[in-house]
Copies of this chain bind each other. A is one copy, B any other.
Amino acid sequence: MVEFDKQTFVNELISPNGSKIVLLVMDGVGDLPNEEGLTPLAKASTPNMDKLATLSDLAQTVPVIRGVTPGSGPGHLGLFGYDPIKYQIGRGILEALGEDIEVGELDVVARGNFATIDGDIIVDRRAGRPATEESEKTVAILNANIKEIEDVKVTFYPGKEHRFVLKLTGEGLSDKIEDADPQKEGKPIKYTTPLSSEAEKTARIVNKLIDRIKEVLKDQPKMNFALVRGFSKYPKLPQFPEIYKFKAGAIAVYPMYKGLAKLVGMTIIPTGLTIEDEIETLKKEWNNYDFFFVHVKKTDSYGEDGNFAQKVHVIENVDKVIPEILALNPDVLVITGDHSTPCAMKGHSFHPVPAMFYAKNTRKGLSKGFNEFECARGAWGTIEATDVMNLILAYAGRFEKFGA
Contact = CB atoms under 8 A, between A and B. Distances in A.
Given A381-B376, A393-B67, A404-B73, A37 B351 contact: no
Interface residues of A, number: 69
A362 B399 contact: no
Given A33-B364, A345-B361, A403-B73, A394 B68 contact: yes
A9 B361 contact: no
Interface string A22-48: 000000000011000101000000000
B391 A74 contact: no
Contacts of A249: none
A401 B70 contact: yes
Interface string A384-404: 000100111110000111111
A230 interface: yes
Q: Which of A66, A377, A400, A402 has the most CB of B within 10 A?
A: A402
Contacts of A342: 361
Given A90-B404, A352-B380, A404-B91, A362 B32 contact: yes
A65 B382 CA distance: 13
A199 interface: no
Contacts of A85: 4, 9
Q: How many copies does the complex hold?
A: 2
A115 interface: no
A116 interface: no
A366 B373 contact: yes
A186 interface: no
Contacts of A348: 401
A365 B348 CA distance: 21
Interface of A: 1, 3-4, 6, 9-10, 13, 32-33, 37, 39, 60, 64-74, 84-85, 88-91, 94, 111, 230, 342, 344-345, 347-352, 361-366, 372-373, 376-383, 387, 390-394, 399-404
14 contacts: A10-B65, A13-B68, A33-B363, A37-B364, A66-B390, A71-B402, A111-B404, A230-B404, A348-B401, A366-B376, A366-B377, A376-B379, A381-B382, A382-B382
The 4 lowest CB-CB distance pairs between A and B, nearest first, are A67-B390, A91-B404, A67-B394, A71-B403
